[in-house]
């Protein structure tokens, strides 16, 4: 029976590396709730140099860049997002969208399409649908104005999966995609017949958390052959002094598209790419409402000989618990292309 006394409660907001958890809960019955959340963000960004992240229209850095003279100023609200969570007893459904769907123009209206980020169902120990890959430890992502900090060296993949969780242990089968597969290096394969298999264990406590993950894949090459790929990752967030924390990620092996946000392909011709990535970040609270993050990330590949680095420093100020602003300065370098660009970004965020 529907509870006539529908209550609207403002819940605590946790914003972690661009992931907004729902913040307003409507209780329908003893077993049914709907929760709404997200945030509104406006960015002002300036880039100058010879490296350009064309796949993201220079809104933020990913591992895929081109060498090109660039000096531009951009205003954007695309990272704005909204989410809805439905709970019925042991069943949870979650949907989240942002506005990086493209198809807009900067001449008149700056229209942007919504883009699906998450759409999954949880029932007891099981998760089915699209969400963060099991290989990802979101708590290890740096807090940054640049949409996640050094993604060039971070495990950062959302995809469809079936996952089983028991305490700190997770195992999943996930959507396969041989990036750089039969359509050629840099292309996308569609002949993948075996799902990716990922296992992870997370150790956690008052001190923070550390996760250890392994990845096994069957990759389809441009020549129609099948190759095995294996990768590993260690990542975590360690509480240090007061509210400060240290975040890190280290990945190696055949991680391919799972690490670096397109810094590496899975395959280079008939060869499986081998990648080494490291990311570190430190967050320091000057006061309860003022904090600074310093971060660094680097990815190197063996077959394609790529070498990509991103570092940055920022400062954020909370005007209220829900309203904050910050400024960030940093540099992205593609050593293999002899290209690098400096950037500065101002961000204002209102968390729902």
Q: What is the pLDDT of residues 277-308, one digit of tens each?
A: 999 999 999 999 999 999 999 999 999 999 99
Is residue 211 a contact partner of residue 229, using CB atoms and an 8 Å limit? no
Annotated domain spans of the chain = 7-351
Residues 240 and 320: their CA atoms lie apart, in Å, by: 25
Residues of the chain with pLDDT under 50: 1-20, 184-186
pLDDT at 7: 36
Is residue 300 a contact partner of residue 335, using CB atoms and an 8 Å limit? no
Residues 237 and 208: their CA atoms lie apart, in Å, by: 6
10 Å Cβ neighbour count for 343?
24
pLDDT at 183: 53
- What's the Cα-to-Cα distance from 103 to each of 93, 99, 109, 112, 345, rounded to whole Å? 29, 10, 11, 6, 23
pLDDT at 184: 45
Task: Classify residue 225 as exposed, middle or buried by CB count within 10 Å of its CB (0-12, 13-18, 19+).
Answer: exposed
CATH 2.40.160.10 assigned to 7-351: yes
- What's the Cα-to-Cα distance from 237 to each of 151, 300, 318, rounded to whole Å? 16, 23, 22
């Amino acid at each position: 029976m529907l509870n006539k006394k529908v209550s609207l409660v403002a819940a605590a907001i946790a914003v972690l590396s661009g992931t907004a958890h729902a913040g307003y809960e409507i209780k329908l019955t003893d077993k049914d709730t709907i929760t709404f959340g997200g945030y509104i963000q406006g960015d002002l960004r300036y880039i100058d140099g010879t490296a350009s992240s064309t796949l993201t229209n220079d809104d933020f850095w990913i591992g895929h860049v081109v060498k090109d003279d660039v000096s531009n100023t951009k205003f954007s609200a695309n990272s704005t997002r909204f989410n809805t969570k439905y709970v019925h007893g042991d069943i949870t459904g979650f949907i989240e969208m942002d506005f990086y769907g493209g198809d807009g123009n900067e001449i008149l209206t700056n229209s942007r399409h919504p883009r699906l980020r998450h759409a999954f169902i949880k029932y007891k120990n099981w998760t089915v649908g699209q969400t963060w890959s099991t290989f990802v430890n979101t708590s290890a992502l740096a807090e940054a104005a640049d949409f996640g900090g050094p993604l060039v060296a971070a495990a950062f993949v959302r995809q469809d999966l079936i996952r089983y969780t028991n305490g700190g242990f997770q195992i999943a089968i996930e959507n396969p995609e041989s990036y750089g597969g039969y359509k050629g290096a840099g292309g996308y394969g569609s002949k993948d017949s075996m799902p990716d298999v990922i296992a992870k264990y997370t150790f956690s406590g008052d001190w923070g958390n550390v996760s250890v993950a392994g990845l096994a894949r069957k990759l389809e090459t441009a020549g129609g052959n099948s190759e095995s790929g294996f990768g590993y990752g260690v990542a975590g967030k360690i509480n240090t002094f007061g509210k400060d924390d240290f975040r890190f990620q280290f990945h190696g092996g055949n991680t391919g598209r799972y690490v670096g946000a397109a810094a590496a392909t899975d395959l280079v011709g008939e060869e499986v790419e081998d990648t080494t990535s490291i990311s570190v970040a430190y967050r320091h609270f000057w006061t309860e409402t003022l904090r600074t993050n310093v971060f660094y990330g680097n990815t190197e590949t063996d077959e394609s000989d790529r070498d990509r680095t991103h570092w940055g420093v920022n400062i954020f100020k909370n005007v209220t618990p829900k309203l904050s602003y910050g400024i960030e300065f940093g540099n992205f370098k593609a050593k293999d292309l002899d290209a690098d660009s400096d950037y500065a970004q101002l961000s204002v965020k209102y968390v729902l």
